[in-house]
Amino acid sequence: MAKDRTTSAANASSGDGSQNLYIEPGETVMLAPDAQRFSAFYKRVYPSGIDEVRDILGLSDAAAQAVSTKMNCQCSCSPPSLYTPEDLTSRDNSIRRAAKEVAVKAAYQYVTGANPDALAQWKPLIDKYINLGKIVINYVALQDIEIAQGATLVISASTNALYANNIKIHGTGRMVCQGNLSIKCVTLQGITRQIVGPNIPINQPVGP
């Protein structure tokens, strides 16, 4: 059975996380906002703009540069045509759909890129999209996470970010992410391929 080790919140570098999590060998634990044992450690945010999204999900400058280099997409996802915020509510379905696609691509680049200033021209469009879509961000703050040999931590698709002090994955232990997840931690011990998911940028260390 997984063990919750309660410690002082003052020791959590990522904010208000006040619990260590140890997952026993062979055990599977689901980390989700609606899981009773973890709900107290979740925060739900309705961002007013893309800068707030970047503050919560974005990488450090070094990590963002590494991700951009690895994915070889520095600004390559930026569309050639500039849409306006008003296009998101256009009566023309094709314009509205295209503007939404542009906003989504530009928002991803703004959050994960090393230089958000390069996408400043898209910011009004992105902010409008966020407000129209009533975007919600769920993030969880814990202290230390230890996944034993053969244990699995499953992180729900409804969890957008995981803040932790130290994450240690032993042997065949795994972290399985059901959706895109931003991980912010001080240290990560284990093989990164043990973290499985569609898009898992890892930011070390946690910092302002």
Listing DSSP states for 148-162 in one string gives -TT-EEEE-TT--EE
The two tokens of residue 12 are 């959590």
Region 19-38: mean pLDDT is 94
pLDDT at residue 149, rounded to an integer:
94
Contacts of 45 (CB under 8 A, 6+ apart): 52, 56, 136, 137, 138, 139
Residue 68: phi, psi to the nearest 5? Answer: -60, -40
pTM above 0.85, yes or no: no
pLDDT in tens, 59-79: 766 665 655 555 444 444 555
Residue spans of the domains in the chain: they are: 3-44+136-203, 48-133
